[in-house]
C-alpha cells in the first residue's frame, strides 16, 4: 500500500547510458605517456595509431596497455580490452600530422582534449565504444561504479517526491550499484529497474532497503521486540475470516467501533476514512498528539491517496489486543484496510482457506 517508488530507481539509471570515464582526460594521460615522435623507419601500419597521411605515431598495443591501466579495478576485464581497442581504432588515421601539431601549439598538454572538442563525431564514437562494452557489463570498473552512483544520487534528489534521508542516501546508492556490479548487469537489463516484478529490482530493494525517504510511518518488518505490542492470554489465536469477491475480510474492533475490514498483506498500515477517524477522535481513541505526519499511499487499484498518519493503541482482533499500530486516514477511503503494521507484529500468520481462519502466532 505504501507508495513504492518503482519509477525512481529506473530514472536514476536511465542516465547511465551517457555516463563513462572522462575519456578525454583518460586519453590525454595515455597519449602523454607515449612518444609523440613519429617513427622514421618503415613499420606495419596496422600495429600503430597513424596520422591521416599514414605516418605511424605510437603502437596500438602500448596504447591499449596504458588505456587499460587507467581503468581502475577493471583493467583485466574483457570490457576494458574492448573499450581500449575500440578507442585505438577510432583514433587511427583520424587527424593529420598538421592537426596534431596545431593542437599542441594551441593547447599544450591539453592538445588531445583540444582535438576531441573540435570533432563531435569522434566524441560520439568514443562514447559508442563504452556503450558496446555496456552490452556485456555496465559496471566493469571503479570509474563506472562511481559515475553511476553520483548520477543516481543526483537523479534521486530531483525525482523523489518525499524528503530523502541524506544520511542514508550515500549508503543506499553504494549498495545498489554494487549489487549491479556483482551481477555484471548488461545494458539490456537496465529496464528491469523500472519493473517491480523483476529479480534485479527486488534484489536491490531487498538488499539495500529501498529508496531512503524520510517515512512518516514507523512500520517495520517483524522483529522479536514487537511481541511486546501484542497482548493476549495465549501466544496463538485463530480469527474467523470470510472471502468476498476473492478478498479476505475479518472483524476488527477499535474502541466501540466494530467493522469488517479488508486484510491486505500488501498494504503498509491500517487505512480508514476521515469520517471514521473523526468519530474515533471524539471518543479519544487517538488525538492530534498521536499525529506523525502526512504520507502518500498507493491502494490496490493504483490510485495514490494522500493521508494523515497517526499512532494508535488497543486494536482488537480475535483475542489479541495490539498497540503502536500506524493508522492512515483519508477522505478518499471506502474499504478499511488492515495492513502490515498489524501483521508484522506477529512472528507468524497463516490463512487457512479450508477452515476460513486467520492463525496468528505471537
pLDDT value for 45: 60
pLDDT over threshold 50, residue 9: no
47 grid coordinates: 600495429
Q: How far is CA 154 from CA 30, 117, 147, 325, in A?
A: 30, 26, 11, 34
Using 50, 70 and 90 to split pLDDT, how confident is the model at 302? Answer: low
74 grid coordinates: 577493471
**178-189 confidence digits (pLDDT tens):** 898 888 888 778
Cα separation, 174 vs 60, in Å, equals 35
pLDDT value for 6: 37
pLDDT value for 64: 86
pLDDT value for 291: 92
Q: β-pairing, 247-254 with 236-244?
A: antiparallel
Higher pLDDT, 3 or 113: 113
Is the Cβ–Cβ distance between 8 and 156 less than 8 Å?
yes
Is the Cβ–Cβ distance between 324 and 229 less than 8 Å?
yes
Using 50, 70 and 90 to split pLDDT, how confident is the model at 111? Answer: confident
Model pTM? 0.52
pLDDT value for 13: 42
Using 50, 70 and 90 to split pLDDT, how confident is the model at 18? Answer: very low
**257-268 confidence digits (pLDDT tens):** 999 998 888 778
Q: What is the mean pLDDT of the chain?
A: 80
pLDDT value for 12: 42
Is the Cβ–Cβ distance between 317 and 252 less than 8 Å?
yes
Is the Cβ–Cβ distance between 188 and 13 less than 8 Å?
no
**192-238 confidence digits (pLDDT tens):** 877 777 888 889 888 887 777 666 555 667 778 888 999 998 999 99
What is the average per-residue pLDDT within 324-340?
88
Say which residues have a Cβ less than 8 Å from residue 35's Cβ, sequence separation at least 6.
57, 58
Domains delineated in the chain = 22-134 (no CATH), 142-208 (no CATH), 224-361 (2.40.70.10)
- What is the H or E stretch that residue 348 is in? strand 348-352
- Which residue, among 49, 118, 116, 59, has the nearest Cα to 89 in the 3D structure? 49
**132-162 confidence digits (pLDDT tens):** 887 888 777 777 788 878 887 887 777 666 6
Amino acid at each position: 500500500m505504501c507508495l513504492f517508488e518503482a519509477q525512481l530507481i529506473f530514472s536514476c539509471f536511465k542516465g547511465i547510458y551517457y555516463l563513462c570515464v572522462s575519456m578525454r582526460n583518460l586519453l590525454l594521460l595515455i597519449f602523454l605517456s607515449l612518444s609523440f615522435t613519429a617513427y622514421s623507419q618503415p613499420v606495419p601500419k596496422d600495429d600503430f595509431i597513424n596520422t591521416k597521411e599514414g605516418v605511424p605515431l605510437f603502437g596500438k598495443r602500448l596504447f591499449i596497455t596504458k588505456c587499460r591501466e587507467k581503468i581502475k579495478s577493471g583493467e583485466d576485464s574483457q570490457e576494458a580490452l574492448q573499450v581500449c581497442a575500440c578507442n585505438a581504432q577510432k583514433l587511427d588515421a583520424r587527424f593529420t600530422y598538421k592537426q596534431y601539431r596545431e593542437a599542441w601549439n594551441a593547447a599544450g598538454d591539453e592538445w588531445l582534449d583540444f582535438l576531441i572538442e573540435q570533432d563531435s563525431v569522434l566524441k560520439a564514437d568514443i562514447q559508442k565504444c563504452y556503450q558496446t562494452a555496456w552490452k556485456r557489463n555496465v559496471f566493469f570498473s571503479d570509474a563506472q561504479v562511481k559515475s553511476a552512483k553520483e548520477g543516481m544520487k543526483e537523479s534521486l534528489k530531483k525525482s523523489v517526491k518525499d524528503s530523502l534521508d541524506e544520511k542514508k542516501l550515500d549508503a543506499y546508492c553504494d549498495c545498489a550499484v554494487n549489487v549491479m556490479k556483482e551481477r555484471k548487469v548488461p545494458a539490456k537489463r537496465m529496464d528491469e529497474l523500472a519493473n517491480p516484478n523483476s529479480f534485479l529490482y527486488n534484489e536491490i530493494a531487498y538488499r539495500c532497503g529501498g529508496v531512503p525517504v524520510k517515512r512518516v510511518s514507523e512500520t517495520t518488518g517483524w522483529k522479536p521486540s514487537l511481541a511486546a505490542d501484542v497482548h493476549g492470554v495465549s501466544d496463538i489465536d485463530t480469527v474467523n475470516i470470510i472471502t468476498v469477491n476473492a478478498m479476505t475480510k475479518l472483524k476488527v474492533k477499535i474502541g466501540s467501533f466494530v467493522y469488517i475490514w479488508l486484510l491486505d498483506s500488501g498494504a503498509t498500515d491500517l487505512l480508514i476514512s476521515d469520517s471514521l477517524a473523526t468519530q474515533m477522535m471524539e471518543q479519544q481513541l487517538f488525538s492530534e498528539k498521536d499525529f506523525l505526519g502526512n504520507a502518500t499511499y498507493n491502494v490496490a487499484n493504483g490510485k495514490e491517496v494522500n493521508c494523515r498518519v497517526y499512532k494508535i493503541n488497543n486494536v482488537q482482533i480475535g483475542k489479541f489486543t495490539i498497540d503502536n499500530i500506524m493508522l492512515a486516514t483519508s477522505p478518499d477511503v471506502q474499504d478499511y484496510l488492515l495492513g502490515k503494521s498489524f501483521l508484522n507484529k506477529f512472528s507468524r500468520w497463516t490463512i487457512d482457506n479450508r477452515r476460513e481462519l486467520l492463525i496468528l502466532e505471537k
